[in-house]
Amino acid sequence: MSRFEVVRDPLWNNIRLDPEAIAVVDTPAVQRLRYVRQLGHAFLVYPGATHTRFEHALGTYHLARRALAQLEETAGAPLLDPAGRLRLKLAALLHDIGHYPFSHALEEAGMPHHEVLAARQLGSGDIARRLEQLGVPPTDLLPLIQGTSGGPLAGLISGSVDVDKLDYLSRDAWMCGVPYGVIDVDRLLTSLCVVAGPNGPALALHEKGLTALESLLFARYQMYRNVYWHHAVRSATVMFNRLVRAALAAHRLRLDEVALATDDGFIQELQREDTTGLAQALRERRLAKRALDLPATELPADPPSWVADDPTLRACVEDRLAREAGLEPGELFLDFPTKAGLLTLDLPLVRRDGSIVRLAGSDAGAYLGLPRVAGELYRTARRLRVFVLRPARVSQKEIVDLLVTPRDDVAARFNR
């Protein structure tokens, strides 16, 4: 058996898989990711967006190998022992192992985040046995995957310039056929370094990489505004969320089974005994239309977050609004997506004179333009929308008044 294998990739060309990676890739848990699309329902808008979590996992692993080699070459010495290097590369490869079908939609429906489910996936079956054989117990990988590790290079897996972002933004833009995810990846990787910090060595960026870092931030903003939060993608997402919640409420689905499903298998399961009609509508791309579409810049700043993070209350409000608009319950959907920290930074910056400053919060504005206007850019990316399955009129004033009402007051008003 050869010491490594090479996988051809449309984005990074050649991805080298070391024997340890091959051993992990050839397990059912990782192979399942071949059948979980990276962007959920985005393929209904961008036909090329059928790439999978598997491709993204390989790309993230590839960038972790590149970054580690670059950092150690710059340092002139190993930064991690062999076990630490293996942990880092496998954490990159397995960072999405707990992902649900259809991207992040089910997390919006109130299910545990995929980082939480990673513990279950890594702790059982063939993948757990392979990791034990490699001397890398799952408990060593979870802190890196869940962003709780204090290791010197943990920021490569979860941080402001992690390899996850570098791959998914580049890959998503490429596969969608849009020019919004252009990042100077090479410059960013060659600008990374390790510095002494209050809690030990930490990943940092040299000042020469500031322009490349800004390209990452701007790519993220543009991809959310134009792809991830495209109105038709959001329409499909809210329909899907309502469909799944109805199936769970009717006990036609079990939460533990959902976490192990694939996209096509899951939607076929949802079509069985579906009384909402939403499963078939999604299969045939009969999406709910916009009855209201307001940019967040026309709304009060920092409204309560219940629309985005309380799906049970949101469904209750939706059904009341539907009846008021002459629709049936389940024919109207509210949508106001959120992404905390979309344009925030937090990492050390090594200035050209060798001094080190913290690139975070308002201080980042001294070195980059985007952080100074991050709040306004975030508001321009967000939109409050009301989708309906049949033509109907809704009151803009009533919707906006509801949006700015505190969660407890809304719950009391709707007798939840």
pTM listed for this prediction: 0.94
pLDDT at 1 over 50: no
> What is the per-residue pLDDT for 416?
59
**Cα–Cα distance, 316 to 416 (Å, whole number):** 7
How many structural domains is the chain composed of? 1
Tally the residues of the chain.
416
CATH no. for residue 291? Answer: 1.20.1250
pLDDT at 77 over 90: no
Containing H/E element for 72?
A: helix 53-75
- Residue 78 belongs to some domain of the structure: no
Average pLDDT, the chain: 93
- Residue 354 belongs to some domain of the structure: no
pLDDT at 234 over 90: yes
**Cα–Cα distance, 66 to 120 (Å, whole number):** 29
How confident is residue 240, by pLDDT bands cut at 50, 70 and 90?
A: very high
**Cα–Cα distance, 4 to 20 (Å, whole number):** 9
Number of H helices, E strands in the chain: 20, 9
Q: What is the DSSP letter of 228?
A: I
Residues 361-415: pLDDT tens digits?
878 888 998 888 898 999 999 999 999 999 999 999 999 999 999 999 999 988 7
How confident is residue 2, by pLDDT bands cut at 50, 70 and 90?
A: low
Residues 103-114: pLDDT tens digits?
888 888 888 787
- Residue 356 belongs to some domain of the structure: no
Q: Partners of 9 in the beta sheet?
A: 13
Residues 6 or more apart in contact with residue 119 via CB below 8 angstroms:
98, 138, 142
Containing H/E element for 13?
A: strand 13-17
Mean pLDDT of the region 327-343: 94
Q: In this structure, what are the phi and psi dihedrals at residue 14, rounded to the nearest 5 degrees?
A: -110, 125
- Residue 404 belongs to some domain of the structure: yes
Whether 221 contacts 169, CB under 8 Å: no
User: The tokens of 188 are what?
Assistant: 């960013």
- Residue 294 belongs to some domain of the structure: yes
Mean pLDDT of the region 289-316: 94
- Residue 278 belongs to some domain of the structure: yes
**Cα–Cα distance, 167 to 83 (Å, whole number):** 24
End-to-end CA distance of the chain: 62
User: Which segments within 77-213 are labelled E, that is strand?
Assistant: 192-197, 200-206
What residues make up the domain containing 302?
A: 231-339+380-413
- Residue 353 belongs to some domain of the structure: no
Residues 6 or more apart in contact with residue 184 via CB below 8 angstroms:
211, 212, 215
Q: In this structure, what are the phi and psi dihedrals at residue 76, rounded to the nearest 5 degrees?
A: 75, 15
- Residue 407 belongs to some domain of the structure: yes
**Cα–Cα distance, 407 to 416 (Å, whole number):** 11
Residues 343-353: pLDDT tens digits?
999 999 999 99
